[in-house]
Amino acid sequence: MPTEQTAPEAIQEKLEPLSDGMFCFACHPGVPCFTECCRDLKLLLTPYDILRLKTHLRLDARTFLDHYTESRFDELRSLPMIYLKMLDDSRKVCPFVSADGCRVYADRPAACRIYPIAKATRLHPVHHTVLEEYFVLRESHCQGFEQKRSWEIGEWTKDQGLERYDEWNNLWMGIITHPRLRSGSPLSTKQQQMFFLAGYNLDKFREFVLGSRFLAIFDVTDEEAEALRDSDESLLRLSFRWLRFSLFKEPTLKMKAQ
């Protein structure tokens, strides 16, 4: 089955393969459709999106999740997934859009950065490397395609600050597409709760790590342990290792010799 047929049905017909890696597009406050794309979205957030947004808004993770997101259960993977909650008005606009554009632009989610490109990723069945395929998502409301600026896909991802996001989101994809989750034995309720805590509620995960015997049990260097107190990125790196260890029994953490 072609990759575009695995995309959500609502956008399948709008996807065009990016065969030569080039596309023509520009978005700026002068386009007549400015911010028209920031509404009525099913915008999936990754842990790194959440980290960046909550930091931008100076909120703790729980407050951010409560105010700006909704959790929906993914039956296929038996995992809770987090979506940005649109406002409950007739236009269902994004809570961060304003007449001047995106209020969280510097820390906007990866999905907003890559638009109007769509990326399909899958894991190589043998080498477990991430395989990427790009498409142009041509929506009728978007007049950015009429602008005469051409982009090569690598230039676009760099311009939109996607490299850092891709690095983190590929690690996350390795967890949510793990073969163990498709093996027919769904995660227990306790494992799902741990997945939510470590993946999305980073500040609570910090409390769990620092307030339990975690650091006495697992072989984490003093330097790493110190960084966990202030650095959300260090904590997120540990949370991904913890999820692979606790959910998939992988040797991503070692117990200390007793």
Give me the residues that bind ligand SF4 (CB under 6 A), please.
Answer: 27, 31, 33-38, 41, 94, 96-97, 102, 104, 108-109, 112, 115-116, 141-144
Shortest separation between residue 165's beta carbon and ligand SF4, angstroms: 13
Smallest distance from the beta carbon of 209 to ligand SF4, in angstroms?
29
Q: What residues pair up with 122 in beta bridges, in sequence order?
A: 131
* Least distance CB 9 / ligand SF4 (angstroms): 21
- Between residues 51 and 228, which has the closer beta carbon with respect to ligand SF4? 51
Compare residues 160 and 177 and give the one whose CB is closer to ligand SF4.
Answer: 160
User: Which tokens go with 201?
Assistant: 């509620």
Least Å distance between CB 105 and ligand SF4?
Answer: 6
Q: Which lies closer to ligand SF4 via its Cβ, residue 34 or residue 214?
A: 34
Which is nearer to ligand SF4, 200 or 205 (by Cβ)? 200
